[in-house]
């Protein structure tokens, strides 16, 4: 039997209309959106299904929206009998993974990621921080560039996504200097990103401290499926370790490439990106094209994934 890992997307995968098709067709998906609406006290479902896009892009709405669309898709997939051996999620997606693993209750997770988005937004005044993507340059060279560009400011690797893509985060001026240096030193491309805050760097310390208080107030269970955590690219199988990983990932880098490689080393051969978009599917092609990667975000992709397993293909 082939081992399966489910992967959950993070911020940036949102799109108006996400989850709508599945919610219309599957009661368990509709129920998931209803639970989120109740937990938050407003119609998150309506923002997901109809927009407007500018509201869906606000971090404290984006985070619960992606979590809800991802958990809804996962619950539909579960009803179809697909059971993973491992779960992982990119940044915010780690919350979806922990909900899928039964570590935290969905309602608790929805409220927590709303606050997470709010805390991240409030940690750094708008315009002070920035993020950039550096393409076609290895991690060691990017680390040197970050050191050279810092000049007493924060400039750190935030997302080690694939051999082709590293995202950096920190003070806006330092990130601009790093983009310039990366371009001069042979990066394929270095571009500033349209983000509202400098995620996954030490500037997020105030957000991490506030979120830690929230997470310590929640009940965590031992995950019933091992979860690969971002910050260490290591498997967590205990409640306290799961909570600790979610706290540390606010300022820690997302070790995505290493997480995926470690899942492959555990014998995973089939990866399913569950939730909106195909960002992780794209990264998988950069990390290891030999792996089977499927997606579940709407009815068409769900059916394609179900057919794959029905055919007994590994």
Catalytic residue set? 91, 200
Judge residue 200's burial from the number of C-beta atoms within 10 Å of its C-beta, 0-12 exposed, 13-18 middle, 19 or more buried: buried
Q: What does DSSP assign to residue 152?
A: T
Which residues are CB-contacts of 300 (< 8 A; sequence separation ≥ 6)? none
Does residue 52 have a cis peptide bond before it, meaning omega lies within 30 degrees of 0? yes
CA distance 288 to 280: 12
In SS3 terms, 222-247 reads as CCCCCEEECCCCEEECCHHHHHHHHH
As a residue count, the chain comes to 314
Tokens standing for 89? 């999620």
Centroid of chain to Cα 162: 14
CA distance 250 to 163: 23
Residue 190, strand partner residues: 134
Which residues are CB-contacts of 16 (< 8 A; sequence separation ≥ 6)? 48, 49, 50, 51, 52, 53, 56
Short-list 280, 260, 309, CA closest to 8: 280
Residue 191, strand partner residues: 133
Which residue has tokens 């569950």?
274
Short-list 25, 158, 44, 138, CA closest to 90: 158
């Amino acid at each position: 039997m082939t081992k399966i890992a489910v992967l959950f997307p993070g911020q940036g995968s949102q799109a108006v209309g996400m989850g709508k098709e599945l919610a219309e067709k599957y009661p368990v998906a509709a129920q998931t959106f209803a639970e989120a609406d109740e937990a938050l006290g407003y119609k998150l479902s309506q923002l997901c299904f109809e927009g407007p896009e500018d509201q869906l892009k606000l971090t404290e709405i984006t985070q619960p929206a992606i979590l809800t669309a991802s958990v809804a898709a996962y619950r539909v997939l579960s009803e179809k009998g697909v059971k993973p051996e491992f779960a992982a999620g990119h940044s915010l997606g780690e919350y979806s993974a922990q909900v899928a693993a039964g570590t935290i209750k969905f309602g608790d997770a929805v409220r927590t990621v709303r606050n997470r988005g709010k805390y991240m937004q409030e940690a750094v005044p708008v315009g002070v921080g920035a993020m950039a993507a550096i393409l076609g340059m290895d991690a060691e060279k990017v680390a040197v560039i970050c050191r050279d560009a810092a000049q007493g400011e924060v400039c750190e690797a935030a997302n080690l996504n694939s051999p082709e893509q590293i995202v950096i985060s920190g003070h806006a001026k330092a990130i601009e200097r790093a983009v310039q240096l990366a371009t001069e030193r042979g990066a394929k491309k270095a571009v500033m990103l349209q983000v509202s805050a400098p995620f996954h760097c030490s500037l997020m310390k105030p957000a991490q401290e506030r979120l830690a208080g929230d997470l310590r107030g929640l009940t965590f269970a031992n995950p019933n499926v091992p979860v690969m955590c971002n910050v260490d690219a290591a498997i967590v199988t205990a409640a306290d370790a799961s909570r600790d990983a979610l706290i540390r990932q606010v300022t820690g880098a997302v070790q995505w490439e290493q997480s995926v490689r470690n899942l492959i080393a555990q014998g995973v051969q089939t990866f399913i990106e569950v939730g909106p978009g195909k960002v992780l599917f794209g990264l998988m092609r950069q990390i290891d094209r030999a792996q089977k990667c499927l997606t579940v975000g709407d009815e068409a992709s769900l059916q394609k994934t179900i057919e794959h397993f029905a055919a007994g293909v590994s």
